[in-house]
A and B are shown apart, each in its own frame.
Chain A
Amino acid sequence: MAKALDLPVAELAAAVKKGELSAAELARGALERIREKASLDAFLHVSEEPVLKAAAELDRRRAKGETLGALAGVPIAIKDALCTTDAPTTCASRILTRRGADGRPGNAAAGWRPPYDATAVARLRAADALLVGKTNMDEFAMGSSGENSAFGPAKNPLDPTRTPGGSSSGSAVAVAGGMSSASLGSDTGGSIRQPAAFCGIVGIKPSYGRVSRYGLVAFASSLDQIGPFARDVRSAAHVLQAIAGADARDSTAASVAVGDYAAACERDVRPLRIGLPEEYFAEGLDPEVAERVRAAVSRLEREGCAVRPVKLPHTRYGVATYYVVATAEASSNLARFDGVRFGLRVEPERGNLNAMYGATRDAGFGAEVKRRILLGTYVLSAGYYDAYYRKAQQARTLIRRDFEEAFRDVDVIAAPTAPMPAFRLGEKIDDPLAMYLADIYTLPASLAGIAGLTLPCGNTRARADRPALPVGLQLLAPAFGEEKLLTVAAAVERLCRS
């Protein structure tokens, strides 16, 4: 069973459909792995009973001769920012927990029970996936290391003293640690791509509008996107296929036709032109990361792809632009956590409604969430709106235009995913600005709403101060260009393994 769990998603589902593997055994195997690797803190909640029940039902249906779905029996983990009816949803925040008998905010087990499934979750269930549990994350997806979780950080399976990246920390750890075949995360400024890079796996940030966000706890609504993690490109493509497409419950889920992602992985890469943006190889980039990324692009060139430089001149405004736009939207989105309808409520003995809001939000939110709410409120407040928020929206236009210009000459842009490999837990936690700068290469694509993917392209050399660590190659394509990304990614995967 241990070996079956490590199969690519499509092969695993095919074996379950044919009855060569039982869903019940796969569920038990995944739960066993999760127990063995509990010290990595990938999960906030393990759905033991529901997953065993769902697996038994799947085996029953197969025995009756029913045709099973595209993800039959595939163990998949879900970021705790996505609503699930059979498991608590906390966003790794105390504000989405009930108070304990001692009057203090609860733990993840006392988390909010949503009245509905997110559309992406419902689509995985409809495809007969086994949803094994909810993964750890930075509180409200705000962070780049997983350390902002109110319930303690997840650890990188390759070196537990290092961060797995964030904010979808646990979703990356679950897949890299073999606890699930795939997982869902959300990416607002790099929260799928950066942890996938740090853990040596594949992560896709689909184009804005490609996947419905219904049931995703909103952080920054003009940026948030749901996407898959997996250990190989085809498996990630398989999961994306199941969740992509329009949804009557989310008007931002675009009506653009969904491509054939499995077929895209088999297409000839040679006609595609690859762009290298010089701004992504600037000061501050770890030299070994640069070397691995350039080596992967050279392999594509030797394969027959045209490689040419492209310019993205407004890249240097990406961090400032993002942290103005994202915090402004977050300050507004997080106003709903007021202690009235769900989650934590702290009522001071004497005091009115405003006192309850203040006390609830003080007890429920962690330091980084408070920092971003304050920043967002500041940049939207009278007297500062034009200098910060309006200016950032204009910078966003310039960043979009950079990409539009570059994609006139190339099909796919190749760059590093992060400026460094996985850093140590604690290394940046006291310096929020240094943490924000770690997102420098993933933010612009989010601001432009285009498609992004990361896959491993080799390891750094082991040295005294750090072991060999994976390097992520980031690929970017125009909005709804996921198929091109997958064609290039599948080629890189093959070339880097040979």
Chain B
Amino acid sequence: MAITRETVLHVARLARLELEGDEVERMQRDLGNILGYMQQLSELPADGIAATAQVATECAPLRDDALIPSLDHELALAEAPRRGGGSFAVPGFVDE
């Protein structure tokens, strides 16, 4: 199955992945091969078959609605690559 360069770049943008150099061609080829194999699903007669998103949810217990301490603020920030004012700091993203 042929996947265009534009499709790879579009999907990479959606996934916030920058691809460098020959990575685009490599992914174009690999995605084409793998999606081609996956197309066998199209031959499967599946009309009226329910979709399985999750198994065994009927045994999933609900926990008590009780207040419990959450992660300590300082501990949550301990591994932050950059912090400021008791928060995670990031590059600007609002146009001034």
Confirm or deny: B67 has a beta carbon within 8 angstroms of a beta carbon on chain A.
no
Are the CB atoms of B44 and A391 closer together than 8 Å? yes
Contact B35 A375 (CB under 8 A): yes
Report, nearest first, the 6 A-B pairs whose CB atoms are least far apart: A449-B55, A393-B51, A345-B81, A254-B59, A358-B18, A353-B93
Q: Using an 8 Å CB-CB cutoff, how does the interface string of A417-456 with B read, 1 for contact, 0 for none?
A: 0000000000000001100100000000001110000000
Q: Can you sample 29 A-B contacts with CB below 8 Å?
A: A112-B79, A115-B71, A222-B54, A251-B60, A317-B44, A319-B37, A324-B41, A343-B79, A352-B91, A353-B90, A355-B91, A358-B17, A358-B18, A359-B18, A361-B15, A362-B17, A370-B23, A373-B17, A374-B12, A377-B14, A387-B41, A388-B35, A390-B51, A391-B46, A392-B41, A394-B51, A397-B51, A398-B46, A447-B52
The number of chain A residues touching the other chain, given as a range, is 35 or more
Minimum CB–CB distance from A281 to chain B (whole Å) comes to 21
Residue of A nearest to B50 (CB): A397
Contact A341 B80 (CB under 8 A): yes
How far does the alpha carbon of A220 sit from the alpha carbon of B3 in the complex, in Å?
25
Q: Which residues of A contact B27 (CB under 8 A)?
A: 370-371, 374
Of B17, B23, B41, which one neighbours A391 at CB under 8 angstroms? B41
Flag if A356 contacts B91 (CB, 8 Å).
yes
The answer to whether residues A361 and B60 also contact, given A351-B91, A353-B93 and a CB cut-off of 8 A, is no
| A395 with B41: CB separation less than 8 A | yes
Q: Which of B38-85 contact A (CB under 8 A)?
A: 38, 40-42, 44, 46, 49-57, 59-64, 71-72, 75-76, 78-82
Interface residues of chain B: helix, strand, loop or mixed (majority): loop
The smallest beta-carbon distance between A378 and chain B, in angstroms, is 5
Query: What is the bound-complex CA distance between A254 and B56, given in angstroms?
Result: 8
A367 at the interface (CB under 8 A from B): yes
CB nearest neighbor in B for A334: B15
**Separation of A388 and B37 alpha carbons in the complex (Å):** 11
Question: What count of chain B residues pass the 8 Å CB interface test?
Answer: 55
Q: Which residues of A contact B90 (CB under 8 A)?
A: 340, 353, 356
A301 to chain B, nearest CB (A): 31
- Chain B contacts for A373, CB-based, 8 A: 15, 17
Query: How far, in angstroms, from A379 to B78 measured CA to CA in the complex?
Result: 36
Is B11 engaged at the interface, CB distance under 8 Å to the other chain? yes
Interface residue from B17, B46, B56 paired with A395 (Cβ < 8 Å): B46
State whether A339 and B31 are in contact (beta carbons under 8 Å apart), knowing that A353-B90, A373-B17, A393-B51 are contacts in the complex: no
Q: Which residues of B contact A324 (CB under 8 A)?
A: 38, 41
**Which A residues lie within 8 Å of B75 (CB)?**
115
Task: Tell me whether chain A's interface is mostly helix, strand or loop, or mixed.
Answer: helix
Residues of chain B lying within 8 A (CB to CB) of residue A357: 16
Contact residues of A with B, CB < 8 Å?
98-99, 112-113, 115-116, 207-209, 222, 246, 248, 251-256, 316-317, 319-321, 323-324, 331, 335, 338-345, 347, 351-359, 361-362, 365, 367, 370-371, 373-375, 377-379, 381, 387-388, 390-398, 400, 432-433, 436, 447-449, 479
Instruction: Give Cα distance in the complex from A122 to B18, angstroms.
Output: 38
A317 to B18, CA, bound (A): 32
Supplied contacts A252-B54, A359-B18, A361-B15, 14 more A-B pairs, CB within 8 Å: A209-B56, A222-B54, A252-B57, A253-B61, A317-B41, A320-B38, A320-B40, A352-B93, A353-B91, A375-B31, A392-B38, A394-B52, A397-B49, A479-B56
In the complex, A183→B16 CA distance in Å?
35
Known: A353-B92, A391-B42, A394-B44. A222 touches B81 (CB 8 A): no
Q: How far is the CB of A293 from chain B (nearest CB, A)?
A: 26
CB distance from B95 to the nearest CB of A (A): 9
Task: List the B side residues contacting A448 at CB < 8 Å.
Answer: 55
Provide the residues of chain A in CB contact with B15, threshold 8 Å: 331, 361, 373-374, 377
Distance in angstroms between the alpha carbons of A22 and B4 in the assembled complex: 63
Q: Bound state CA distance, A324 and B35, in angstroms?
A: 9
Q: Assess whether B17 is in contact with A370, with CB atoms less than 8 Å apart.
A: yes
What is the chain B residue whose CB lies nearest that of A401? B49
Do A252 and B60 have beta carbons less than 8 Å apart?
yes
